[in-house]
């Protein structure tokens, strides 16, 4: 498993312009077969023999067909079209009137509406969003012998609402539909980096410097070859150093899945400065680890060591994703040496 995301950091920067809004005015947080799609999920049944199209339009190339009664999974939607897949394979787009959501039988509950475990006891409450690391069965009870309620595909995103058997089983739902019990070890904890409003912060840099920054959420990007997305941001910097004022752009992302795709609760944050370069094309990145379980952000490394200076403090408290983004931005300027500041001053606007 990878340890750094630097191989594809440059690709993320290029993608920012396309990430915010597609040509159809749809938030392009995820793409399916090259088309920006909105969030949608669930198991659906084909109500009539249906064509599968390469794009969400009737004139698009026909990729195949689905017979009435076939079951598929929704990967997202665009207007009146659903992006669909089956057995982990992306199929194409189907018109929504040809689909109906498959209803699952009700889950066993007590008189107070609490979900019950194998012993008839209410399960413990749980919360959070997770990613399925593999294909896995959904069960009516927290037991491998319990009735199957369906199957969760690798890469599916679900919400936990309860746990049983000392946390070894989790009851999950998706789009408010109660799905069933799943092995906890098959789930990776996710963070949601969406910001409802810009984040503003500032920090002192040395004895005579300071920086103010504004972080704006621009969308999400799937990571090529991986199951998860990054939440991406633009950062507007305004700094003063040795009496010289400068404004320059930056980019930022946080991985929504844990570092090294484990359940360690550690997420990577990168701050990239496109105006800091060497003779060859390489992104200058300041890399942090958000240790959610410890409520702190820790400086990890810089992509170009010759531009680094050891900061006075390499960590800061952070209880939420927003606090983690601000903390990383407050630490980062302390790690940039005189060469970095010189390039930023030359390119400042």
Angle 322-7-289 from CA coordinates, rounded to 5°: 30
Buried b (16+ CB within 10 A) or exposed e, 148-166: ebebbbebbbbbbbbbbbe
Q: Would you kindly state where each structural domain of the chain is located, as residue ranges?
A: 43-101, 124-190, 199-347
Tens of pLDDT, residue by residue over 143-202, are: 999 998 887 877 788 899 999 999 999 999 987 789 999 999 999 899 999 999 999 999
Stated as kind and residue range, the H or E segment containing 343 is helix 338-347
Give the count of beta carbons closer than 10 Å to the beta carbon of residue 280: 5
Reply yes or no on domain 124-190 having CATH 2.30.30.40: yes
Q: Is the pLDDT at 123 greater than 90, yes or no?
A: yes
Q: Is the pLDDT at 207 greater than 90, yes or no?
A: no
Tens of pLDDT, residue by residue over 7-24, are: 333 333 333 333 333 333
pLDDT of residue 12: 38
Phi, psi of 19 (to 5 degrees): -80, -35
Question: Do the domains at 43-101 and 124-190 have one common CATH topology?
Answer: yes
Selecting from 2.30.30.40, 3.30.1180.10, 3.40.50.2300, 1.10.10.10, what CATH number does the domain 43-101 have? 2.30.30.40
CB–CB of 244/206 below 8 Å? Answer: no
Stated as kind and residue range, the H or E segment containing 234 is strand 229-241
- Average pLDDT in the 99-105 region? 85
Tens of pLDDT, residue by residue over 226-277, are: 778 899 999 999 999 888 899 999 999 999 988 766 777 899 999 999 999 8
CB–CB of 322/196 below 8 Å? Answer: no
Four-point Cα dihedral 152, 157, 161, 162, nearest 10: 50
Phi, psi of 325 (to 5 degrees): -65, -45
Q: Which of 270, 267, 272 is nearest to 296 (CA)?
A: 267
Give the count of beta carbons closer than 10 Å to the beta carbon of residue 260: 11
Look at strands 62-66 and 50-53 and give their pairing. antiparallel
pTM over 0.85: no
């Amino acid at each position: 498993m990878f340890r750094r995301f630097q191989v594809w950091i440059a690709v993320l920067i290029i993608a920012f312009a396309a990430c915010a809004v597609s040509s159809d005015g749809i938030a392009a947080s995820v793409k399916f077969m090259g088309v920006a799609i909105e969030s949608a999920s669930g198991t659906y049944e084909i109500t009539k023999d249906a064509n599968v199209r390469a794009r969400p339009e009737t004139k698009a190339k026909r990729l195949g067909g689905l017979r009435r009664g076939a079951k598929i999974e929704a990967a997202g939607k665009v207007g009146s079209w659903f992006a669909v897949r089956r057995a982990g394979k992306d199929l194409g787009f189907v018109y929504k009137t040809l689909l109906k959501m498959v209803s699952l039988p009700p889950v066993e509950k007590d008189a107070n509406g609490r979900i019950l475990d194998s012993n008839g006891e209410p399960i413990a409450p749980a919360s959070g969003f997770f990613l399925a690391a593999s294909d896995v069965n959904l069960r009516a009870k927290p037991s491998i012998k319990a009735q199957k309620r369906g199957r969760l595909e690798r890469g599916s995103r679900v919400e936990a609402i309860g746990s049983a058997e000392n946390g070894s089983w989790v009851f999950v739902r998706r789009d408010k539909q109660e799905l069933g019990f799943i092995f906890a070890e098959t789930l990776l904890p996710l963070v949601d980096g969406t910001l409802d409003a810009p984040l503003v912060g500032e920090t002192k840099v040395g004895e005579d410097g300071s920086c103010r920054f504004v972080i704006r959420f621009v969308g999400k990007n799937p990571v090529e070859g991986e199951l998860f997305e990054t939440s991406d941001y633009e950062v507007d910097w305004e700094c003063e150093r040795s009496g010289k004022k400068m404004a320059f752009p930056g980019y930022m992302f946080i991985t929504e899945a844990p570092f090294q795709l484990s359940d360690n609760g550690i997420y990577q944050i990168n701050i990239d400065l496109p105006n800091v370069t060497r003779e060859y094309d390489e992104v200058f990145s300041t890399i942090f680890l958000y240790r959610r379980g410890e409520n702190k952000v820790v400086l990890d490394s810089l992509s170009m060591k010759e531009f680094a200076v050891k900061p006075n403090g390499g960590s800061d408290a952070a209880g939420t994703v927003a606090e983690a983004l601000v903390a990383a931005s407050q630490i980062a300027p302390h790690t940039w040496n005189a060469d970095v500041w010189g390039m930023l001053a030359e390119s400042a606007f």
